[in-house]
C-alpha cells in the first residue's frame, strides 16, 4: 500500500484502508464463530442450539458459551398486559415488528396491550451477559452470516455442556 501522509486526502486514504482491514477482520471472526457452531451442530456432543425457544431455554439454564445473533433480527420482546386495570394478567412474548398482540386476556377476556417492548437482540444479549456468555452480533453481508439468518432464524448458540431439548 502506498499512502501519502503529506496532505489530508492521504490521511483519509489511510483511515479508509484501516477501516477496510477492520471490517475484513470482523467478518473473519464472524466466519470462525459460525464455523465453530456448524462443527458442533454436526458433531454428536450436543453443544449446538438454535432458534429462539431453544437458545432462550439454554440462556435461562446458564449453559450458553457463545450466542450468535444476526444483525438482521428485527423482532421485539414485549411484556404484554391486560387493558383491564383490575386484572393482573401479564406474559412475555416475542413480536414481529409493528404487529399488535393478538387475542384477548386469558383471565378476563379484555383486549391485550404492550406494556414494555425492547429489541429481541437486546433482550437476548442481556440474558447472555447475565450468565457470562459471549455475544456475537453477526453481519449478513457474507454467505455464512446470511445462512445464520435464513436457516437458523438468526439465533444460534454454542453450549458449555449438553442440555436436554425442550
Q: How far apart are CA 104 and CA 112, in angstroms?
A: 6
Q: Considering the complex, what minimum distance in angstroms separates the CB of residue 121 from Zn ion?
A: 30
Nearest one of 20, 115, 132, 133 to 76, comparing CA atoms: 115
Closer to Zn ion by Cβ: residue 108 or 151: 108
Minimal distance, residue 112 CB to Zn ion, in Å: 8
Strands (E), 32-166: 48-50, 64-70, 76-82, 90-95, 112-119, 134-138, 155-159
CB of 44 to Zn ion, least distance (A): 47
Residue keyed to cell 449438553: 162
CB nearer to Zn ion: pick between 60 and 116: 116
Residue 42 corresponds to which cell in the numbers above? Answer: 454436526
Helix (H, G, I), strand (E, B) or coil at 32: helix
Determine if residue 151 is left, alpha or beta; phi over 0 gives left, psi from -120 to 50 gives alpha, anything else beta. alpha
**Residue 114 beta carbon to Zn ion: minimum distance, rounded to whole angstroms:** 14
Contact positions vs Zn ion (CB under 5 A)? 82, 84, 87, 89, 105, 107-108, 110
The minimum distance between CB 95 and Zn ion, in angstroms, equals 19
Which CB atom, from 35 or from 107, has the smaller least distance to Zn ion? Answer: 107
Q: Which is nearer to Zn ion, 45 or 107 (CB)?
A: 107
Q: 101 near 93, Cβ under 8 Å?
A: yes
Nearer to Zn ion, 74 or 107 (CB): 107
Amino acid at each position: 500500500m502506498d499512502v501519502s501522509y503529506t496532505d489530508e486526502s492521504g490521511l483519509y486514504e489511510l483511515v479508509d484502508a484501516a477501516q477496510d482491514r477492520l471490517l475484513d477482520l470482523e467478518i473473519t471472526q464472524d466466519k470462525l464463530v459460525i464455523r465453530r457452531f456448524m462443527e458442533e451442530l454436526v458433531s454428536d456432543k450436543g453443544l449446538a442450539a438454535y432458534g429462539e425457544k431453544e437458545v432462550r431455554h439454554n440462556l435461562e439454564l446458564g449453559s450458553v458459551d457463545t450466542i450468535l445473533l444476526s444483525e438482521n433480527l428485527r423482532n421485539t420482546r414485549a411484556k404484554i398486559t391486560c387493558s383491564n386495570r383490575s386484572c393482573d394478567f401479564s406474559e412475555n412474548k416475542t413480536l414481529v415488528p409493528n404487529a399488535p398482540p393478538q387475542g384477548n386476556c386469558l383471565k378476563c377476556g379484555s383486549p391485550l396491550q404492550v406494556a414494555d417492548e425492547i429489541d429481541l437482540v437486546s433482550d437476548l444479549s442481556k440474558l447472555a451477559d447475565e450468565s457470562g456468555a459471549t455475544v456475537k452480533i453477526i453481519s449478513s453481508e457474507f454467505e455464512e452470516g446470511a445462512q445464520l439468518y435464513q436457516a437458523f432464524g438468526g439465533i444460534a448458540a454454542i453450549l458449555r455442556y449438553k442440555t436436554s431439548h425442550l
